[in-house]
Amino acid sequence: MTLLPPRAKPGDRKLGLVIDLDTCVGCHACAVNCKEWNTGGHSAPLPDHDPYGTDPNGVWFNRVHTFEAGKGTDSRTVHFPRSCLHCEDAACVSVCPTGASYKRDEDGIVLVNEDACIGCKLCSWACPYGAREYDSDSGVMKKCTLCIDRIYNENLEEEDRVPACVSTCPASARHFGDLNDPESDVSQLVKERGGQELMPELGYKPVNRYLPPRARKREQSPSGVGAKLEPLVDLAPNRDNKFLRWVDRVLSR
C-alpha cells in the first residue's frame, strides 16, 4: 500500500479550492473549461466514449450536480460542483497497491502516476466523493490535478496560475489557494463565510471547502414580513379629489 506524506505543519502548503454555493448558478463553465484544459494537459487525453452515439460518456475531472433540498416554496435548488478534494487522509492513496496514487509532500495535491497505475480501481472504490475518473481507453485512473500544469506554469502570467475552473468561473464562485496559511485569501474567505468540509464525519480531512449560501434576504427588510406602504389619507372613498396631494406640488424641469 502507498504511504501518505506527513501531515502538513504550519508553514507547509496545502493547496485546494473554495467553492461558493451562494453564487454558483450551475452553468458548467468550470466543468467544461476543466475538460478543455486537461484533455490537452498533464493527464491528456480525457477521452469521450461514443461521443456522437447513444451513450456519450467521457472522463471529466469536475462535474456539476443539481438537486433540490427542502420542500415546497422554501425548497432550494442547489448547484453543486464536485471534484477531488485533495484529502489530507486520502484513502485513494493509502489503498493504492502500486504507489501510483500519491499525495505530494510539497503542496498536498493528490495525483496519479499513470506509468505506475495498473487500473485496478481500488482508489475509486475507496474515494467517498466519487472524484476519481477511470480512463478505460488507456486503462489508468485519472483525476483532478488542481491544474498542476497551470499553477506553477512559468509560461503563464502570474494571475493566470490558478486552476482552469477558477479562472473561467463567471460567478466568481471558485477560489484557489493555500488552506494551510491562515492569512491566505481562501482561508480568510472560509473564516468569514463559515466554509465547510464535505462529509467531515468520514474522517478523510478534505482540503477543499464549500461556502454555504448566504442567509436569504427574503422578507428581511427592516420593515419586516408584513411590510406595506400606507396609502395617503386623501384616498378615502368620499374624497372628491384623490389627486389632492399632487395639486400644489411645486416641481421644476
Partner 1 sequence: MPGDFLNPEEQINLSPQIGDETKTSTCYMCACRCGIKVHLRDGQIRYIEGNKDHPVNKGVLCGKGSAGIMQHYSPARLTKPLRRVGERGAGHFEEIEWDDALQIVSARLAKIRARDPKKLAFFTGRDQSQALTGWWASQFGTPNHAAHGGFCSVNMAAAGLYTIGGSFWEFGEPDWESTEYFMMFGVAEDHDSNPIKMGLSTLKKRGAKFVSVNPVKTGYSAIADEWIGIKPGGDGAFVLALIHELLRADKIDLDYLVRYTNAPWLVIKDPGAADDGLFARGPDGEELCWDANTDQIADARLAGVAPKIVGEVRLDDGRTAVPAFQIMAERYMDDTYSPEAAALRSGVPAHHIRRIAAELAEAAFDKEIILDVEWTDWAGRKHDKMIGRPVSMHAMRGISAHSNGFHTCRAIHVLQMLLGTIDVPGGFRYKPPFPRPCPPPQKPAGKPDEVKPDTILPGPPLGFPTSPADLLIDEKGAAQRIDKAYSWEAPVSAHGLMHMVITNAWKGDPYPIDTLFMFMANMSWNSSMNTSGVMEMLTDRDGETGEYKIPFIVYSDAFWSETVPYADIVLPDTTYLERWDCISLLDRPICSADGPADAIRQPVVEPDRDVRPFQSVLLDLGARLGLPGMTNEDGSPKYPGGYPDYLVNHERAPGIGPLAGWRGEDGGSEGTGAINPKQLDRYIENGCFWSHDFPENQRYYKHANRDYLEYAAESGWIGSSDQIVMQLYSEPMQKFRLAAQGHGDINPPEQHRMRVNGYFDPLPTWYRPLESHDGIEDEYPFYALTQRPMAMYHSWGSQNAWLRQIHTSNRLYMNRTKAELEGLKDDDWVWVISHHSRIKVQIRLMEGTQQDTVWTWNAIGKRSGAWNLDTDAPEAKKGFLLNHVISELLPPKENGYRYSNSDPVTGQAAWYDLRVRIEKADPEEAADATTYPQFKAQPTRGGHSLRDNILRYGGLFKPVSSKADNQDNGTGA
Contact flags string 197-216 toward partner 1, x per CB under 8 A: ----------------xx-x
How many Cα atoms sit within 13 Å of 110 on the Cβ side?
A: 32
- Establish if 152 lies at the interface with partner 1 (CB under 8 A): yes
Among 9, 11, 53, 236, binds partner 1 (CB under 8 A): 53
Give the Cβ contact number of residue 66 at 10 Å: 11
8 scored as a contact of partner 1 (CB under 8 A): no
The separation between CA 144 and the C-alpha centre of its own chain, rounded to angstroms, equals: 12
Side chain identity at residue 246, one-letter code? W
* Between 201 and 230, CB nearer to partner 1: 230
Asked whether the CA dihedral 61, 66, 203, 207 is positive or negative, the reply is positive
Q: Does 168 sit near partner 1 (CB under 8 A)?
A: yes
Q: Which of residues 75-134 bind partner 1 (CB under 8 A)?
A: 75-79, 98-100, 102, 104-105, 111, 113, 115-116
Q: Are 8 and 88 in contact (CB under 8 A)?
A: yes
**Alpha-carbon torsion 40, 44, 49, 50, what sign?**
positive
- In the list 2, 83, 184, 208, the residue contacting partner 1 (rule: CB under 8 A) is 2
User: What track of x and - describes contact with partner 1 for positions 214 through 243 (by CB under 8 A)?
Assistant: x-xxxx-xxx-xxxxxxxx--x------xx
In the complex with partner 1, which residue's Cβ is closer, 131 or 173? 173
Instruction: Give the shortest CB-102-to-partner 1 separation in angstroms.
Output: 5
Smallest distance from the beta carbon of 125 to partner 1, in angstroms?
19
- In terms of Cα–Cα distance, which of 207, 208, 204 is closest to 90? 204
- In terms of Cα–Cα distance, which of 111, 85, 87, 84 is closest to 7? 87
